[in-house]
């Protein structure tokens, strides 16, 4: 059994949904994970935002616009009148449910999560009806019945596997299973989600739960490219990556893959394949447990990074200084990405600036603190074992005329990171492409 996940653009119109049905139907008894149609989750976030602000007209107007998009989709999605009527009932009931929140007195994060879940719920309803119309026994497996997170907010893999296997047993005669990405229930039983872009994570968790033969992430591009195609022209797909390389790229900004998605596949040694819905024959990218010879494979950029420098003469020949610095970040549950140390100071980066004022305040006990905002981490990824000389020099050479605030190499065999100003990002990505590939 395989898990096939289709992102928002892949199900973004009636034509695209029909195309996905053409793709999945002949592939057999697999689990299909769907995102909301592109733009839907953003609109649902906007609706929730209006409801928080008690702007009921704003909410209703946005609900109406989104609903008309769905009704237009249904008009050409089905061949049979009965299928369209059935889908209309499902979609209208979702929109009426969303509307019902406008007449309540309070609006809380719990209601917001319920609203955000409707996009994936509608995709699954539309696809299941379409496959059934085509004569397949498609069974919708409600993610809210099996995808669980624990008290720590992390997915509860044991519960997910138990729940999902029970559902698969219950519907053993089905030809194909369809489920929602992104959505889950938290430990209180409330509707929740795996964060924006989290359908990739759903696919990977489901793959691990059923010990899938492969997890396929179908999207709008033919695999992981060697640089960010949104900023660099002429990028090319990388056909094979090790799990670690893919994880580094995803973490450092390669949007094609949600950063959390690699781990469940890696732990269970399940190959992950990135494929293009618009070009299904293209080989895409295979991510698995195999390392190819020393090479630089791809470059990615992580935005919205802040650098913090703590300078202190007390660090000289002292121990325990770094510990105090790290404890401060830990106290505010703020992860650190890059670190550079010297005799008299340490620089580090964070991508969550939420508790930065408190952190800076506390760090001032230990030294002089300076902060650089609007920075970007450029990650150069590949098999970069330190015993293979010259790889880091090539990357550095490409950035010879760009001011580099920090460099990190040696934390893993797979990554050299450079911290630069956001305004230099596009130039840096392009220089790296022309020098390295």
Instruction: Identify which range of 137-145, 157-165, 197-205, 421-429 contacts ligand ASP by CB under 6 A.
Output: 197-205
CA distance 348 to 419: 10
Q: What is the token pair recorded at 190?
A: 């409330």
Q: State which of residues 2, 225, 302, 405 lies at the interface with ligand ADP (CB under 6 A).
A: 225
Nearest residue relative to ligand ADP (C-beta): 7
Sole residue written with tokens 């340490």? 346
* Spatial CB neighbours of 185, under 8 Å, sequence gap ≥ 6: 144, 147, 148, 149, 191, 192
When the beta carbons of 48 and 256 are compared against ligand ADP, the nearer one is 256
Based on the shown chain and the rule CB under 6 A, indicate whether residue 182 belongs to the binding site for ligand ASP. Answer: yes
Q: Are 287 and 262 in contact (CB under 8 A)?
A: yes
Nearest partner of 428 among 259, 225, 254, 228, judged by Cα: 228
Q: State which of residues 129, 194, 209, 256 lies at the interface with ligand ADP (CB under 6 A).
A: 256
CA distance 3 to 141: 13
**Strand boundaries in 243-393, DSSP class E:** 272-276, 285-288, 295-311, 336-342, 345-350, 368-383
Nearest partner of 159 among 136, 143, 180, judged by Cα: 143
Q: Residues binding ligand ADP: what is the number (CB under 6 A)?
A: 18
Q: Which ranges of 78-142 does DSSP label H, i.e. alpha helix?
A: 81-100, 109-133
Q: State which of residues 119, 155, 197, 259 lies at the interface with ligand ADP (CB under 6 A).
A: 197
Q: State which of residues 122, 140, 164, 198 lies at the interface with ligand ASP (CB under 6 A).
A: 198
**Strand boundaries in 10-117, DSSP class E:** 31-34
Q: State which of residues 255, 311, 394, 421 lies at the interface with ligand ADP (CB under 6 A).
A: 255
When the beta carbons of 78 and 218 are compared against ligand ADP, the nearer one is 218
Among ligand ADP, ligand ASP, Mg ion, none, residue 314 binds (CB under 5-8 Å by kind): none
When the beta carbons of 207 and 382 are compared against ligand ASP, the nearer one is 207
Q: Are 297 and 382 in contact (CB under 8 A)?
A: yes
Based on the shown chain and the rule CB under 6 A, indicate whether residue 229 belongs to the binding site for ligand ADP. Answer: yes
Q: Residues binding ligand ASP: what is the number (CB under 6 A)?
A: 12
Q: State which of residues 179, 219, 334, 415 lies at the interface with ligand ADP (CB under 6 A).
A: 219
Q: What residues line the site for ligand ADP (CB under 6 A)?
A: 7-10, 35, 197, 219-221, 224-225, 228-230, 254-256, 300
């Amino acid at each position: 059994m395989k898990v096939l996940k289709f992102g928002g653009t892949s199900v973004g119109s009636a034509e695209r949904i029909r195309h996905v049905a053409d793709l999945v139907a002949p592939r057999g008894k697999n689990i299909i994970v769907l995102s909301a149609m592109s733009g839907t989750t953003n609109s649902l976030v906007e609706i929730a935002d209006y409801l928080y602000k008690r702007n009921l007209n704003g909410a209703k107007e946005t609900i109406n616009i989104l609903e008309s998009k769905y009704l237009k989709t249904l008009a050409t999605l089905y061949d049979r009148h009965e299928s369209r009527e059935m889908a209309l009932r499902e979609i209208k009931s979702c929109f009426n449910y969303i509307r019902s929140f406008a007449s309540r007195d309070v609006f809380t994060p719990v209601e917001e999560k319920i609203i955000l879940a409707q996009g994936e719920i509608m995709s699954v309803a539309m696809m299941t009806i379409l496959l059934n119309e085509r004569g397949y026994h498609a069974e919708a497996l409600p993610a809210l019945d099996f995808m669980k997170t624990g008290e720590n907010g992390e997915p509860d893999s044991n519960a997910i596997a138990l729940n999902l296997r029970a559902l698969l047993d219950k519907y053993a005669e089905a030809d194909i299973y369809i489920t929602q990405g992104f959505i889950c229930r938290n430990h209180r039983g409330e509707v929740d989600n795996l964060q924006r872009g989290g359908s990739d994570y759903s696919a990977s968790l489901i793959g691990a739960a059923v010990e899938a033969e492969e997890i396929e992430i179908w999207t709008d591009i033919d695999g992981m490219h060697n640089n960010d195609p949104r900023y660099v022209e002429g990028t090319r797909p990388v056909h094979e990556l090790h799990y670690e390389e893919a994880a580094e790229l995803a973490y450092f900004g390669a949007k094609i893959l949600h950063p959390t998605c690699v781990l469940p596949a890696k732990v269970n040694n399940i190959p992950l394949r990135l494929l293009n819905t618009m070009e299904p024959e293209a080989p895409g990218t295979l991510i698995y447990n195999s390392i190819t010879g020393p090479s630089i494979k791809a470059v990615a950029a992580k935005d919205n990074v802040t650098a913090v420098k703590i300078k202190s003469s007390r660090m000289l020949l002292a121990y325990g200084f770094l510990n105090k610095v790290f404890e401060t970040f830990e106290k505010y549950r703020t992860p650190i990405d890059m670190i550079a140390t010297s005799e008299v100071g340490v620089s580090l980066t964070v991508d969550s600036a939420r508790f930065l004022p408190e952190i800076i305040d506390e760090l001032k006990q230990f030294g002089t603190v300076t902060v650089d905002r609007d920075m970007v981490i450029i990650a150069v990824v590949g098999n970069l074992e330190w015993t293979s000389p010259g790889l880091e020099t090539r990357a550095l050479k490409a950035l010879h005329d760009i001011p580099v605030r920090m460099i990190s190499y040696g934390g893993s065999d797979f990554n050299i990171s450079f911290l630069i100003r956001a305004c230099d990002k596009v130039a840096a990505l392009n220089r790296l492409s022309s020098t390295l590939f």
